[in-house]
Structure 1
Amino acid sequence: MSRTDNDWREVIGLRSPTEERNPRTVEIDQLPARELVALVMAEDRSVLDAVAAAAGPVAQLVERAVRAIAAGGRVHYVGSGTSGRLGVLDAVELLPTYDVGEEAFRAHLAGGEGAMMLAVEGAEDDAGAGRTLGEQFGPDDLVVGLTASGRTPFVGGALAAARDRGAATALVSTNPAAPLAGSVDVAVLVDTGPEVVTGSTRMKAATAQKLVLNTFSTAVMVRLGKTYSNLMIEVRPTNQKLRARTVRMLVQATDQEPARCARVLEEAGGRVRVALVALLAGSTVEAAARAAEEFPPDPARADDPAGVRSAVAALSGAGVR
């Protein structure tokens, strides 16, 4: 796609820390491998502090997401290139880990699914395509724009249309002066500074975005009751490793023998929450199933979002076995 003189003036005038030259790495092409690797890793270490500094906005984003999903809406990731691919990765991994799919989290990549493996020329610059996408969102949704520069036209178009539809909007960017930040409800701006290789946002910027998304989606899952303590109780056991993990999780949560945990899990039809309630309460699976249904996951139950403790307490208080 060719550009006009005005297009080029706009591009050249862009300002983002990730596009600046890093004074610490100007001689990397003259370094032996060991020193080069050490330099890259030293730069990566700074990302952790930069992400930690954005903890407040990330927490706000978690609260917005929990409200959206509890209201029947979805979290939509919208991005292009590396940023968009990280959104896809985060969304698809929620299904095997927490049994949460596109009914709650969905990722949209500029250029479509094919752009996951091969860059689609000009897709990130297509604000119209972004707006068309954004027109599909609803007032109960949360739309999270993912863009290192904070100005990607595709993302901007989607966010603008989403706002028009009444959706909540957010931005995750590694540009503290992101142009799109002023028009969203929550802006997570992580200052990762210049890259090791100038403009290569697949490096520190991508690492920062991955950390933010990991923290965000994990916190949302915990608040939605997908864990008991720090154990996954909604894992989908689709392979031998995950089947073994569900039994091991029950052992870790209850201190009971693996054979008993496996037997109760089988009696519960693979429903981990039910098996966990039965084991903790010392009740029958049938009674545990009724109690688990009486106390379903609820983010409003601040000290027990999964409902497991409440179900066990109800069974124990009633003397049900």
Structure 2
Amino acid sequence: MNRGIKRILVTGGAGFLGSHLCDRLVAQGHDILCVDNLFTGSKSNLTQLLGRPNFDYMRHDVTFPLYVEVDEIYNLACPASPVQYSVNPVQTTKTSVHGAINMLGLAKRTGAKILQASTSEVYGDPEVHPQQEEYWGHVNPIGPRACYDEGKRCAETLFFDYHREGRVRIKVARIFNTYGPRMDPADGRVVSNFICQALLGQPITLYGDGRQTRSFCYVDDLIDGLIRLMGSEDAITGPINIGNPDEFTMIELAEMIVALTGSRSPLIMRPLPADDPRQRRPDIARARDMLGWEPTVRLREGLTRTIAYFDALLSCAASPVLPIAMQGDIVLPPAYPVNRLGA
């Protein structure tokens, strides 16, 4: 094998982020094994890769061991939005914890380098702003979001214990809100919610007073950050924040999407969900210094690309039909074509 070509495993590879990562790694010429149980991923995200000689797909649940030979592992497997992980919170925790144990065991056996896709949710509802990697977080361990927040925190613990005890080569990325094409329209994330509501002419749902903030990173920038972290020297283990430090209120985001879509959707207020963070903004000094990375796509540009994707998706008669969907306050009319979760 060409020494520049690596055998790379991507778990959760049929998901939003995983499929974009597979695209980039396949384009670089590496041999890619994409593993996904399709709990929230979709094979439709991989149609452009199926049949490529350096791409293989395996339906597998990472809560069970996997025996393959690889050089690198990107561990992205896990539901990543409240709508998704509230469906089965126990399975979500198992995916984070058992999945981490199984993938770390595989990395230890093969000598592979392994990257954990962690999350800004490890900071919980932060009392420090912006969030630096040294901050330990403010998380409710028994709340409705704990299956995801604490599952990811435990996974980070496992990664560093395997690194210290077993000398496994690890990388930990803390991913902040990411958006772009291939987001599921019914996954309950704020960007997909607002865009679909605007395109469908439905009221745009804001929670609380709409002044809570998020920082949105376009998917291409995020993938670049993950690949740079994986390619960094072994001494750089992380955790490293990967996100866009530009901060917006939910009202600002909604108004921008309304303007870009030309929608007349009104804004409506709903009660704030339990444990919903009030502020979220990454300090990316470590990513800049250690990886030479920072995002390049501004929010307006990224939203324009994302809106075009959803506009085509919601207009495509060839898409699978979901009779009625009521997730994340999006109500899709009967026979309105959308991608079904897990299809």
TM-score above 0.5: no
From the two aligned structures, give the one with the greater helix fraction: 1
From the two aligned structures, give the one with the greater strand fraction: 2
TM-score between the two structures when normalised by the length of structure 1: 0.31
Structure with greater Cα Rg: 1
TM-score between the two structures when normalised by the length of structure 2: 0.30
